[in-house]
Amino acid sequence: MMKFLYILGEKTEKVKEEALQIAEELHIELSFFHTATNRTTAEYAPIFLKLYAEAEARGVDLILCRGSMESVLRTVLPDSVIPILPIQFLGSSAIGLLADVMEHHPEEFSKPLVRVSILSHVPLVLDQHAIRFLMHTEMKDIVIKTRESEEIRSILKEEQKQGTDFIICGPAIKTLAEEMGLHAYFNPSSDEYESQLKTFQQAIIIVENLRQQRERSRLLENIMNYSFEAVLQVDRQGAVRYSNTAADQILEKENRDILGRKLWELIPELTRELLEGSMEQEEKKYACLIRFGDRILVVNILSYIKDEKIEGAIVQMDQKERLDKLEGQIKSELYKKGLVARYHFGDILHQSEKMQECIYQAKQFSKHSANVLLFGESGTGKELFAQSIHNFSSRCSQPFVAVNCGALPVNLLESELFGYVGGAFTGAAKQGKKGLIEMADHGTIFLDEISEMDLQGQIRLLRVLEERVITKIGDDKVIPVDVRIVAATNKNLRKLISEGKFRADLYYRLNVLTVKIPPLRERREDIDLLTDHFLRHYGEKNSKTLVLTDEAYAVLRAYSWPGNVRQLRNFCERLVIIADGREVSAAMVRRQLGDIDQEEPAEAERFLTTAPGAAVTATDASAAAYFAAGAGGRTGPAAGNGWPETRGGLPPLSPLELSERQNIREALFRAGGNRQQAAALLGIGRSSLWRKMKKYHLE
């Protein structure tokens, strides 16, 4: 439940009652603070500083105020973490006050045209033409941005000069105006319910957004703190502004003892001169070896850019000893995999024409020795294709070596690929090491995430492609190799070329034969087949047998699967582990998709906002035809637009959106039109319900 603090003047009982009514309706915990309205900002300062400290301690989400109190609060609390929001004074409220004057003081309207000024602390939207036509009144809005009496008197004098008949204002200004002989009106019992309601609704949206931002910030901070690599951020003066847990451990200091200190005071060898290039211009430094006590640190330095300006530098550090250990683990993992390709084209489950065409093309390419470049999103099975190409080729009896260029640190990739002689660099094995390209001689080497290879490595790889020879690091001898390269990427290499991050000559050498592996969303016909396979596989491991309903399959087919087959496989394992019974419903599938899809809130919302327990059902003939046609099926005149139903020029609705719209309509009907009750029936917030009603034109 959200907590709001409302700062009020002394005589505001009706306002308070209305606010409590709204808070109860919107499920807000509301507390009040009453204060005199005739104090100076200096007099308010100690009162509001103490009040703010109490509000923070109680977990207040937002502070509401009225009139000029906003400027006082922002002056006293310039660094307030708690948002401050003034009550909106609507144009409709101004008309209501004008009508009140007309009722109780008709003499003010004896002239053919009455000139009225309304003094507010925020600009009002007034329909001048309508007011003039209906009330024979010329009304103008004057925004007051001060609390100083003399400045307000000056404004009032100007109104007297211009022949203003009377003004509508707050109680404090009313007193000043009457002292000067101006007619002024303020009705403390006027109906401000609508103004307060709209402000409360806006406050809820602000607090929800802030909570989401804070949650994202906490998530990012947690990620940084769980990182193995030490990360420091310094400003342009070299003072540390951020330090993660790994950095605190390397520096052997508490975080509070690091922040604010100059980096070269903490690590003397990280001099200002070393950092200047990154703090003054976009200069990057990689793999700098820095001595710190009895340890050697490997340091990368790059510019910290905010709003397109260099605001300092990011310093990444790791202990060389740990990197050496990591290198050993990486080598061990590579050797554990062996030099054998385990998969064949028959292992690629499919029934879609797109995948059939892709496999046919890959088989044709397998018969030749030219290099192959695989394009495909993460999780589409690029290594599966690489191994299948190798096993379908004449090199199938020779070694197959897989290297993930993105998993190996830049300073290790080159030595792993090309090998080195003993003593080539500090930490090198005495007997030297055979490179992976040499180990793949007469066979195939699979370079996954080729886009992550640094430019120096790209130059050496280009030489292998052009001259079919390698040179070990630290050696002057050339070693001839006969190796076929299958490379893969999920990035746009042409774009990287234009950015200077990938060599054009290497791209054209690799891009002799190209296979584009379609993402799962483009071959939805395969989803049922793959789902059944993965459920059987993990079911056998967990001694379970699961059966999905037709509606559950429909949900899986409708989902976009940004992680492709890998995500579907992991999701099936999750279903096997979580499921209690034998049958898996559409509702359960939707819930689980929503739980794992926190990185895609729009996608998650589609699966979470259906009524609890409701199945995914088509609510009209076109949606029913969609499900009947199966995954990827299209029916009716909208066959080319991705979904079957159109709405008179509006964006088409998916089956899930159709179901959601119907659920909202049913909930509103059951609640007799009460949005709060309807939102509770749907298990969502009132503001979310309002947005969805607007989306589906159900207002």
Query: Do 367 and 482 sit in the same domain of this protein?
Result: yes
Structural domain includes residue 270: yes
pLDDT tens-digit map of 338-369: 677 889 999 999 999 999 999 999 999 999 88
pLDDT band at 214 (very low <50, low <70, confident <90, very high): confident
Structural domain includes residue 534: yes
pTM (predicted TM-score): 0.43
Looking only at the bridges linking them, the beta strands covering 84-86 and 28-34 are unpaired
Q: Is 662 helix (H, G, I), strand (E, B) or coil?
A: helix
Structural domain includes residue 73: yes
Summary mean pLDDT of the chain:
82
pLDDT tens-digit map of 299-342: 999 988 888 888 899 999 988 888 777 766 655 554 555 677 88
* The two three-digit tokens of residue 104, written as one number: 């109780």
Is residue 648 scored above 60 in pLDDT? Answer: no
How far apart CA 567 and CA 473 sit, in angstroms, is 39
pLDDT tens-digit map of 227-265: 788 899 999 888 999 999 989 988 889 988 989 999 999
- Cβ distance 496 to 502 under 8 Å? yes
Domain limits at 73? 1-87+192-225
Query: Do 386 and 432 sit in the same domain of this protein?
Result: yes
How far apart CA 137 and CA 132 sit, in angstroms, is 5
User: Which of 127-141, 386-400, 428-442, 621-635 is least confident?
Assistant: 621-635
How far apart CA 116 and CA 141 sit, in angstroms, is 9
Q: Hey, how many other C-beta atoms are within 10 angstroms of the C-beta on 384?
A: 19
Structural domain includes residue 208: yes
Query: Do 37 and 166 sit in the same domain of this protein?
Result: no
pLDDT the model gives residue 392: 94
Q: Give the residue-averaged pLDDT of 568-580.
A: 91
Query: Do 576 and 465 sit in the same domain of this protein?
Result: no
pLDDT the model gives residue 609: 45
CA distances from 156 to 6, 137, 147 (A): 30, 19, 13
Query: Do 75 and 99 sit in the same domain of this protein?
Result: no
Structural domain includes residue 143: yes
pLDDT the model gives residue 651: 58
* CATH number of the domain enclosing 255: 3.30.450.20
* CATH number of the domain enclosing 102: 3.40.50.10660
User: Which of 70-74, 311-315, 333-337, 448-452 is least confident?
Assistant: 333-337
Last residue of a domain, one of 608, 637, 658: 608
Last residue of a domain, one of 189, 215, 237: 189
Is residue 632 scored above 60 in pLDDT? Answer: no
User: Which of 295-304, 446-455, 524-533, 602-611 is least confident?
Assistant: 602-611
pLDDT band at 428 (very low <50, low <70, confident <90, very high): low
Distance of CA 294 to the CA centre of its chain: 41
Q: Which residues contact 185 (CB under 8 A, 6 or more apart)?
A: 97, 100, 101, 105, 166, 167, 168, 169, 174
* The two three-digit tokens of residue 57, written as one number: 């301690």
Q: Which residues contact 678 (CB under 8 A, 6 or more apart)?
A: 664, 667, 668, 670, 671, 689
pLDDT the model gives residue 699: 66
- Cβ distance 91 to 99 under 8 Å? no
pLDDT the model gives residue 640: 32
Q: Is 302 helix (H, G, I), strand (E, B) or coil?
A: strand
9-12's contacts with Cβ under 8 Å and 24+ in sequence apart are: 9/34, 9/35, 9/36, 9/37, 9/66, 9/171, 10/34, 10/35, 10/36, 10/37, 11/171, 11/188, 12/66, 12/188
* CATH number of the domain enclosing 380: 3.40.50.300
How far apart CA 71 and CA 94 sit, in angstroms, is 21
Structural domain includes residue 410: yes
pLDDT the model gives residue 198: 86
Query: Do 67 and 101 sit in the same domain of this protein?
Result: no
User: What percentage of residues in the chain have a pLDDT greater than 90?
Assistant: 29
pLDDT tens-digit map of 28-47: 999 999 887 777 888 889 99
How far apart CA 644 and CA 498 sit, in angstroms, is 40
Query: Do 252 and 220 sit in the same domain of this protein?
Result: no
How far apart CA 39 and CA 47 sit, in angstroms, is 11
* CATH number of the domain enclosing 548: 1.10.8.60
Query: Do 136 and 178 sit in the same domain of this protein?
Result: yes
User: What percentage of residues in the chain have a pLDDT greater than 70?
Assistant: 86
pLDDT tens-digit map of 142-185: 887 776 778 888 989 988 888 899 988 877 788 888 888 889 88
Structural domain includes residue 392: yes
Query: Do 460 and 593 sit in the same domain of this protein?
Result: no
Query: Do 240 and 302 sit in the same domain of this protein?
Result: yes
Last residue of a domain, one of 171, 201, 225: 225
Structural domain includes residue 465: yes
Is residue 636 scored above 70 in pLDDT? Answer: no
* CATH number of the domain enclosing 62: 3.40.50.2300
pLDDT band at 433 (very low <50, low <70, confident <90, very high): confident
Domain count, the chain: 5
Query: Do 220 and 232 sit in the same domain of this protein?
Result: no
pLDDT band at 220 (very low <50, low <70, confident <90, very high): confident
Query: Do 302 and 386 sit in the same domain of this protein?
Result: no
More confident residue, 390 or 10: 390
pLDDT the model gives residue 396: 86
How far apart CA 54 and CA 110 sit, in angstroms, is 52
